[in-house]
Copies of this chain bind each other. A is one copy, B any other.
Amino acid sequence: MVNEDAKKVWAYIDEHEEEYIDLLKKYCAQPSVSAQNWGMREMAEMIRQTITELGGNGTLIETGGNPFVYGMIDNGAERTLTLYNHYDVVPPEPYEQWNTPPFEPTIIDGRLYARGSSDNKGSLLSRYIAVDAYQKVLGKLPINIKFVAEGEEEIGSPHLMDFIRDNPEKIQSDGIIWEGGSKVVNGPLVVHMGVKGVTTFEIVCKEPKNHSNPVWRLIWALNSMKNADDYITVDHFDDSIAPLTEYERNFVLNNDYDEEAMKKMNGIDHFVRDLTGNALKEKLYTEPSMNIQGLYFREIDPVTGMPKSAAVKMDIRTVPNQEPEELMRQLRNHLDAHGFEDLEIIEGHSTLPYRGKPDSLLAKAVIKDVAEVYGMPADVHLMIPGSCGMARVVKATGIPIVHYGCMDDASRAHAPNESVDLDHYIKGAKLSVLVFQNFATMD
């Protein structure tokens, strides 16, 4: 049930919809491409100003890269909520695949098209305008708010852990709303509180031990690592996988998973191994995946034209409690045991996996009233297949994290013609109003 206070705030949001959309347009018109160091200071300043206008005393925190923007609205409330977002976007290239210029926000059929519109400026602002409307109508939030916006998320958040280490008081809170969050078009809002990890590496064949083509040795090694049923077959690779707890298992099995929507979104007519139902849901939370990102020749013999050395770039999407170092040791042992001692492993970067806690106060505050805004309950996940630095933050701080926001499965984040559904943008703000209330009052 939406109470009278919230109804008044919602009415204000509806009345000021045009103004809030104009603010999103202004944000999206400002390039902020971290990989190209394009517009970062201008964008940080724009956010600092918005936070200050909300009463949060916006400040730039330097960490050696793009600054963190920080602010706090301290109402002396019992509970504090952190809004973590990022203000950088991925590069707009290739330009020729955009139907409208990436930094000229354009509304077509209720969607705003621009680089960054869904990832993450739409979600960032939908949270900020919820704060704005709540304060304009009711004077004061029932919670304290911390704003943290970083400018290096799209390049791997290289200073995030430094920021947390050097400014523990700036992240300390009772819950963090993380950047991102999704929705199925014409379907439920997706709320999640965990992510798979990722471990990247290369396998290199420099001098094939039997002098066959190095590419063939990589083929044979790869074949030993994953079978035609799509199971990873690296020896002992599954040893450290944490089974679902009874609580998690009940949660997963009781949760709806919209198989038809996922098939449609991915353009497929069935899942791997024809999985459906509970088996499909369990796979998502307990099975890593292993991907080939590319296979390339490192050195070509100029006389014969044959490859002298070759390499394959790979990643593993991990589940708890797979540790990158242990996985790389197991892979080394596997290759040795299967006659591939001559292949080298070059480790890449890693993020950790995390299965979230749907019984946290924050999770309950988010999930409770989703149907009031969206007309149907949320699709709640312990973990999604994507990866980000979230698990590091949870591990370092112990603070529960939840993702919900204004992207949907038509948003094309990171791709040409990125967009955000403006109705979803406004609804996201309305949901946040309820989240603030619930977070203040729930047990």
A residues adjacent to B (C-beta < 8 A): 97, 210-213, 215-216, 219-220, 222-223, 226-230, 266, 268, 270-273, 291-292, 294-295, 297, 302-303, 305-307, 339, 412-416
Contacts and interface: CB of A to CB of B under 8 A. Distances in A.
A270 B211 contact: yes
A266 B227 CA distance: 34
B413 A303 contact: yes
B215 A292 contact: yes
A268 B211 contact: yes
A266 B294 CA distance: 28
A385 to B, nearest CB: 9
13 contacts: A210-B229, A211-B266, A212-B230, A216-B230, A219-B222, A219-B226, A220-B227, A220-B228, A223-B223, A291-B306, A302-B412, A303-B412, A303-B414
Contact of A228 (B272, B273, B339, B416): B339
A228 B212 CA distance: 9
B216 A272 contact: no
Nearest to A386: B304
A211 to B, nearest CB: 5
Nearest to A263: B211
Contacts of A226: 216, 219
Which of A215, A271, A272, A297 has the most C-beta atoms of chain B within 10 angstroms of its own C-beta?
A215
B272 A212 contact: yes
Contacts of A272: 210-212
A210 B223 contact: no
Nearest to A339: B228
Number of copies of this chain in the oligomer? 2
Contacts of A229: 210
Contacts of A211: 266, 268, 270-272
A84 to B, nearest CB: 23
Nearest to A385: B304
Contact of A210 (B219, B230, B291, B305): B230
Top 7 closest pairs, chain A to chain B, by CB: A223-B223, A302-B415, A215-B292, A295-B295, A212-B230, A219-B222, A211-B268
Given A210-B229, A291-B306, A302-B414, 8 more contacts: A210-B230, A212-B272, A213-B291, A219-B222, A219-B226, A219-B292, A220-B227, A220-B228
A339 B271 CA distance: 17
A112 to B, nearest CB: 18
A414 B216 CA distance: 25
A312 to B, nearest CB: 9
Contacts of A295: 215, 295
Contacts of A210: 228-230, 272-273
Contacts of A271: 211
Nearest to A302: B415
A223 B215 CA distance: 11
Given A211-B270, A211-B271, A228-B339, A416 B302 contact: yes
Nearest to A338: B228
Contacts of A219: 219, 222-223, 226, 292
A294 B227 CA distance: 22
A414 B297 contact: no
A302 B415 CA distance: 5
Contacts of A230: 210, 212, 216
A234 to B, nearest CB: 14
A221 to B, nearest CB: 9
A351 to B, nearest CB: 16
